[in-house]
Amino acid sequence: MIEQGGIDAGAHLNVLQVGGGTCNDTVFEFNTGLQGSQVASGGEWDQYYPNTAGGVITNVKRNYCTTITQLGANLAIGYVTHGGQTLNTNSVAHDNYYDLINGSGQFYTGSMTGWTLTNNLDLIVGSGGGGGPSLGGQGTYLTYGARTSSVLNAPSGIVNGDLLIAFLAVGATINPANATPPAGWSALPGSPTQAQDIGATFFVKYHVFYKIASGESGDYTFTTTGSTSTCGVVMRYTGVNTTTPFSPAPTANTGPGTDATALGLTTTVANAVVIFTEQDWGDNTNNTLPPTGTTPTFTERVDQPLIYIADGVMATPGATGNKTHTTNSAAGSAWGAYLIALNPA
């Protein structure tokens, strides 16, 4: 089947839309479809939409289907339940394939109640759309200051399965011990980096920790020992593989000077999100720009004293090359930099 996306803005041309009332025993199996691009808002594939008129949909069988979607002005969407639809019961979706290179396949956040999902290749659960990982939000930045307990604000909207990444810089006049994360958090491979100024009178460790969200509540406290000063932030990403969130392994690099270079990596799947982050010294005004180039094209997320973060999507697998960023540091200051690839769900 071939379905043309919304020809006019707001047009919804769907292969199948079941909504309202009570519907039992819907079977949608062994279909291969090409989903056309959208104009503005419209052009979904198949969806089960019970809340249209307060309905209940039961016993849906959505199995053995291949959905290929194309990009247009907006993403074509091959999805199964619309946002907030929780009144599907006793329903199954298994052995479906979604082409995420040119579109998306997903269950919207909060809409999985009543569904059993097994063996769905490239199905994004709880992402609400998109062809891979995306930034879902970030907590309030903790400004640099003397402390041994660093409370990093939790981003809003966390749902189970989100990837949480904590970026924490720790400074001291002597080489500080590694920071201790809350229970359930792990250190990113290669973390922390360690840098010291040219006179070896001050040290900074740049930690990156992560966890897969599960029953989250409240902010996160990271502890240090001795006379330390810290700053940091927590980022939330959706649509990340919860078993293997990072692929390939992150890179870490350190050095002195006004340019920080994160060592390149090679992504192996479409729509990986690549994060560039560095610890610098905050000697100058925070008006720097993201690393240049199109592998990927970076969007700035954090530009603060000591911490810089940007990310971008690698739509096609391949080598990023090294990424160089002009820091806000003086020539004698050292830096630490990571390149991190998030593996799509």
Q: What is the pLDDT of residues 141-194, one digit of tens each?
A: 999 999 999 999 999 989 999 999 999 999 998 888 999 999 999 999 999 999
Q: What is the mean pLDDT of the chain?
A: 79
Look at residue 102 and give its three-state secondary structure: coil
CA distance linking residue 81 with residue 214, whole number of Å: 23
CA distance linking residue 195 with residue 332, whole number of Å: 11
CA distance linking residue 47 with residue 130, whole number of Å: 16
- Give residue 38's pLDDT band: very low, low, confident or very high (50, 70, 90): low
- Average pLDDT on 5-16 reads 51
**How confident is the model at residue 80, as a pLDDT?**
57
pLDDT digits (tens, 9 = 90+) for 210-256: 999 999 999 999 999 999 999 999 999 988 999 999 999 999 999 88
Residue pointed to by tokens 């990310």: 311
The pLDDT of residue 290 is above 70: yes
**How confident is the model at residue 24, as a pLDDT?**
74
CA distance linking residue 2 with residue 35, whole number of Å: 6
Structure tokens at 264: 């390149």
Structure tokens at 235: 């980022």
Cα angle 192-196-198, degrees, rounded to a multiple of 5:
155
Antiparallel, parallel or unpaired: β 115-118 and 91-94:
parallel
Task: Kindly report the pTM of this predicted structure.
Answer: 0.66
Q: Which residues contact 142 (CB under 8 A, 6 or more apart)?
A: 150, 151, 152, 153, 230, 231, 232, 233
Look at residue 47 and give its three-state secondary structure: strand
- Average pLDDT on 272-280 reads 95
Task: Determine what percent of the chain falls in helix, strand and coil, rounding each to the nearest 5.
Answer: 0, 50, 50
- Give residue 83's pLDDT band: very low, low, confident or very high (50, 70, 90): very low
Is the CB of residue 336 less than 8 Å from the CB of residue 253?
A: yes
Cis peptide before 317 (omega within 30 of 0): no
Sign of the C-alpha dihedral computed for residues 153, 156, 161 and 163 taken in this order: negative
**How confident is the model at residue 291, as a pLDDT?**
92
